[in-house]
Amino acid sequence: MTDPILTVDGVDSGYGEVQVLDDLSLTLGEGEIACLVGPNGAGKSTVLKTVFGMLEPWTGSVRLGDREIGGMAPEDIVRIGVGYVPQTENVFGSLTIDENLRMGGVARDGGLDEVVAELYDRFPILDDKRTANAKTLSGGQRQVLAFARALVMEPDVLLIDEPSAGLAPNTAKEVFDDVETVNELGTSILMVEQNAREGLGISDRGFVLDQGTVKFEGEADSLLDDPEVSRLYLGGESRR
């Protein structure tokens, strides 16, 4: 693993009185894609929400590099190089595509026009619909917009919650391709994915969560090959 850019260390967290994460620890290496997989209710999305300040860690620490970010507000975390793409309701439906992208850049110091222009180049589907309201987009297009909105800040770390949720297989594949492209351009990615095999397939490393804690972790390939992980969490035999 490369040097850790994001470290979650012994975190308990949850909603109100309900605890979801139980002494959860994981690290994201610089330049990596890491994928969180596991059954419904394992706490995958809760990890992202706790890292991004939507939830406050009850105990433990969340660090970006050496800096403690546990309990910081999302609007501050986004300013220090972390982006987040929620699973649902991840675009402003009543705003245009262009306005959505510009809202993604409210915390930028400058260069907004340039980065938005680059994103239009990279995602022509958005360029074609600049002035359309985001609620008119298809599911796949929305996912691209949600993704692009988070990229306007040019984050060092991007947290993505179930990029393929609700998408047809072809569209999901395109979204995974986009995730890989963004990673190749230098963004480290921590991703939650229900579709575990596909998610691990594009990842460097993986974490299998169950009951709020990490049960298995390792190279994505070795998790895919691990018969026990396959049987318990990936719905069948290992691929080889």
Partner 1 sequence: MAQILQYLANGLVFSSIIILGSIGLSLVYSIADFANFAHGDTMTLGAYGALVAFGVFGGLGGTVLGLPIGFFIALAVGMALAAVVAVLTHILVYKPLDTDSIGLLITSIGVAFVYRAVLQASFGTDFLQYDIRRSGPIPVLLDTLDVAVTQRDVAIIVSAAVLVVALHLLLQRTTLGRKMRATADNPDLARVSGIRTDRVILVMWVVGSALAAAGGVFLALYSQLDPRIGFNILLVVFAAVILGGIGSVYGAMLGGLLIGMLHELTPLLGDIGLPISNAYAPAVAFVIMVAVLLVRPRGIAGDMT
Contact residues: partner 1, CB under 8 A = 52, 54, 73-75, 78-79, 84, 86, 89-95, 99, 102-104, 106-107, 135, 149, 153
Taking the C-alpha atoms of residue 221 and residue 82, their distance in angstroms, rounded to an integer, is 26
| Nearest to partner 1 of 96, 222 (CB atom) | 96
**Shortest gap between Cβ of 79 and partner 1 (angstroms)?**
6
Taking the C-alpha atoms of residue 114 and residue 47, their distance in angstroms, rounded to an integer, is 33
Tell me the three-class secondary structure of 67-99, residue by residue: EECCCCCHHHHHHHCEEEECCCCCCCCCCEHHH
213-219/33-37 β-pairing = unpaired
| Nearest to partner 1 of 8, 48 (CB atom) | 48
| Nearest to partner 1 of 158, 234 (CB atom) | 158
Helix-, strand-, coil-residue percentages of the chain, each rounded to 5: 35, 30, 35
**Shortest gap between Cβ of 14 and partner 1 (angstroms)?**
17
Taking the C-alpha atoms of residue 5 and residue 1, their distance in angstroms, rounded to an integer, is 11
| Nearest to partner 1 of 126, 214 (CB atom) | 126
**Shortest gap between Cβ of 114 and partner 1 (angstroms)?**
17
**Shortest gap between Cβ of 137 and partner 1 (angstroms)?**
14
Taking the C-alpha atoms of residue 103 and residue 90, their distance in angstroms, rounded to an integer, is 12
**Shortest gap between Cβ of 104 and partner 1 (angstroms)?**
5
| Nearest to partner 1 of 38, 104 (CB atom) | 104
Enter the DSSP assignment of 50: H
**Shortest gap between Cβ of 240 and partner 1 (angstroms)?**
39
In DSSP notation, 192-203 reads E-SSHHHHHHT-
**Distances 158 to 18, 19, 127, 225 between C-alpha atoms, Å:** 27, 25, 23, 27
| Nearest to partner 1 of 102, 197 (CB atom) | 102
Taking the C-alpha atoms of residue 120 and residue 151, their distance in angstroms, rounded to an integer, is 12
